[in-house]
Amino acid sequence: MLASVSASVLATVLVAAPVSLGVAQVARAQPSLPSLGDAAAEDLTVGAERRLGDRILREIRRDPDWLDDPVLQDYLNSLWQPLLAAARARGDLSDDQQAHFALQTFLVRDRSVNAFALPGGYVGVHLGLIALTTSRDELAAVLAHELSHITQRHIARNIASSRRQSMLGVASMIVGVLAASRSQNADAANAVIVGGQAAAVQGQLNFSRDMEREADRVGFGVLDAAGYAPEGMAGMFDRLQFASRLNDSGQFPYLRTHPLTSERIAEARGRLGVVTDRKGGPVAAQWLHAAMQGRARAMMDGRTQTLTRLAGGGVPTAAAAAQTPEALATACAAAVAATRLKDVRVADAALARARGLAAPQGEAVVRAVQVLQVESLLERGQSAEAARVLSSAVLDGSRAGLLLGARLAALPGSEATLVSRTREDLQTWVALHADDAGAWLALAQVNERQGAPLAALRAHAEARFAQGDLVGAADRLRAGQRLARSNGAVESMEGVIIESRLKAIEQQRRVEMEQERSGQRD
C-alpha cells in the first residue's frame, strides 16, 4: 500500500525535499545566482522527464491508497495555483516546463507526515501532513519547496547522470522500489536496490545539499510572492520537531529525508524579519483549513479504533464549547468518522456543532460543512434530504460540488431534471478538463442512469485513458464499437467519436510500445 510509500525507501526514491526556505527579497537581489538544474536539460529533456513521471504515476494510481477526494483536492489546488502563478511571475517556471510538465498535486491516503515530488511536475501529499498543519501557510510552505525542486530541475539532474539508462529502465526501477516498499518488508525493499543499476538510480535520486539550499531560497521567494504568511514555514519546522520528539514511530518520514538542523530552523526564523508579516492570512482561511484538517484526520486512517476515537469528538463536552478553529476540526473529524461507523446520533451531533462553528466564518467554511452533511445523508441512504441540503448549499460550481451532485443524480429515483442538468454540467467540465478521471467516471454513471449505454462506455474509456490505462481504454471503446454496430448507431455522433478515439489510442499505444522496445529516452 502507499502507506508504506511513506517509508524511507520510497521517500528517497520519490525525491522528497526539505522545507527550509529562502528569502524572496534576497532571491530577487541575487539574479546572478546559478540554477543548479540547468545542466539537466543536456541529459533529460522536459518532455522525457514528463513521460517518466507519467509512467511512475500510472503505477501509483493503481494503489488503493491513491485518493481522489474532491473536497481535499480542491483545497490543495487552491493553495497550489497561487504558488504556480508566483513561480511564473518570478520567472522560475520556464515556458518549456509550462508546456510539458503536469504541475499537479495528488493525495495519498496515509496518516504519516510526508510529501514528495515526482519527475514531470507531480507532487504527492499525504493526508497526515494536512492533518498536522494548523494553517494554510504551513501546508503552502511545503508545496512551495517541492515546486522549487521541480522548477529548478533538480529531479532531472539526479536521474539523468547516465545517458545509457533508458527512461523505461529508470521508471521500472522506481516502480520496483515502490512495489517492494508496499510490502512493508524492509528486506524485500533492500533486495530491490542491491543491484548495480538499482543502487545507481537510488544514488542519483538523492538531492545534494546545494540543491536543498537552492530550493530553500527559491521556495521561500515563491511562498512570499504568492501572498502566504512567511511565519508558516517557521511554524511548520517547530511543529514537526515537537511532534517527532514526542513520538516518531515511523510516522514522520518527512523528517528522515528532510532533516531539521538547528541551522535551518534559525535561518527560517531569521528570514521572517525581511518579509511582510501577514499574520497567518485571513481569519476565514484559518477556519477553512481547520475544516480540511478535520476531514483529513478522519480519512487518513480507516481503522475502527481510530474512527471511534475521532467520533468521540462529536459528543458534547465542556471542552467542546470552545469557539476555535481546532474545535471545528474536531467536529468535522467526528462527523466523518461517525458517518463511516454508521453512528447516526453522533454524526448528527457533530454536524450540528460544525454548522454552528462555521456559520460566522463565511460561505467557504459553511460550504465545507454542508458537503459533509450531504455526504453523511447519502451514506445513510437519505437521498431526498441530501438533495434538499444540496440544493440550498452554496456549491459555487466547484469540482467537489459537481461530483457530489453527480453522485446524487446517479441514484435510482433521482429527478429527471437533476440527471439531465448534471449530465450537461459534467460534459462541460470534461470538455475543459479531459484528464479528470473522476469526472469521467461520474459522467459514465449519470449516462447509465439516463439510459445512454454508448455514452457511458465512452466515458468509462476516457476515465481509463486519463488514468494512463491505454489498454483498458481501448477495450471499452471496442465494447462501445460493438454496441454501436449491433444497434445500428455507428453513424451517430457518439459512434463516430468512439471510432476516432479508438484509432488515436491504438496509435498512441503503438508509439509507446516502440519506445519501450527501443529504450528511447526522448
- Residue 300 CA neighbour count, 13 Å, CB half: 27
Per the structure, how many domains does the chain have?
2
- The predicted pLDDT at position 101 comes to 96
**Whether residue 286 sits in one domain with residue 209:** no
Pair 258, 344 in one domain: no
Question: Do residues 83 and 144 make contact, with C-beta atoms less than 8 angstroms apart?
Answer: yes
What integer pLDDT is reported at residue 505 of this predicted model? 96
Residue 254 lies in a domain: yes
Q: Is residue 107 part of a domain?
A: yes
Considering the domain architecture, whether residues 266 and 289 belong to the same structural domain is answered as no
Residue 59 near residue 66, CB atoms below 8 Å: no
Residue 287's CB is within 10 A of a number of other CB atoms, namely 22
Among 21, 17, 18, residue whose Cα is nearest residue 233:
21
User: What distances in angstroms separate CA 72 from CA 77, 83, 188, 341, 373, one per listed residue?
Assistant: 9, 17, 33, 21, 15
31, containing H or E segment? none
φ, ψ for residue 107 (rounded to 5)? Answer: -105, 145
Cβ(70)–Cβ(404) below 8 Å: yes
In sequence order, the 6+-apart residues with CB closer than 8 A to the CB of 170 are 52, 159, 201
In a domain, 405, yes or no: no
Same domain, 26 and 133: yes
Distance from CA of residue 224 to its chain's centroid? 22
Residues 204 and 286 in one domain: no
- Domain end marker among 238, 272, 306: 272
pLDDT exceeds cutoff 90 at 327: yes
Q: Which residue has the cell 462506455?
A: 457
Residue 362 lies in a domain: yes
Confidence tier at 395 by pLDDT (50, 70, 90): low
Shared domain for 162 and 23, answered yes or no, is yes
pLDDT at 30 over 50: no
Statement to judge: residues 330 and 248 lie in one domain: no
For residue 435, tell me if it sits in a domain.
no
Residues with catalytic annotation? 146, 216
The reply to whether 429 falls in a domain is no
Q: Does residue 241 sit in the same domain as residue 332?
A: no
Question: Is residue 514 one of the residues assigned to a domain?
Answer: no
Does residue 37 fall inside a structural domain? yes
Same domain, 262 and 379: no
Residues 302, 354 within the same domain: yes
Examine the fold and report which residue of 215, 248, 272 is the final residue of a domain before the chain moves on. Answer: 272
Do the bridges between strand 66-67 and strand 115-118 make them parallel or antiparallel, or are there none, so unpaired? Answer: unpaired
User: Are the beta carbons of 256 and 8 closer than 8 angstroms?
Assistant: yes
Q: How confident is the model at residue 308 (pLDDT cuts 50, 70, 90)?
A: very high
Give the residue carrying C-alpha cell 478535520: 294
For 402-434, write each residue's pLDDT tens digit.
999 999 999 988 888 889 999 999 999 999 999
Query: 380: domain range?
Result: 282-396
Cα separation values, 127 from 123, 216, 286, 404, Å? 13, 23, 18, 21
State the pTM of this model: 0.83
Query: Taking all residues of the chain, what is their mean pLDDT, rounded to a whole number?
Result: 79
Sole residue written with cell 536496490: 193
The answer to whether residues 149 and 239 belong to one domain is yes
Are 259 and 361 in a shared domain?
no
Cβ neighbours of residue 423 under 8 Å, at least 6 residues apart? 409, 443, 446, 447, 450
What pLDDT, in 10s, does the model give residues 76-129? 999 999 999 999 999 999 999 999 999 999 999 989 888 888 899 999 999 999
Residue at which a domain ends, from 380, 396, 412: 396
- For the chain, what is the radius of gyration of the CA atoms? 24
Per-residue pLDDT, averaged over 466-471, amounts to: 92
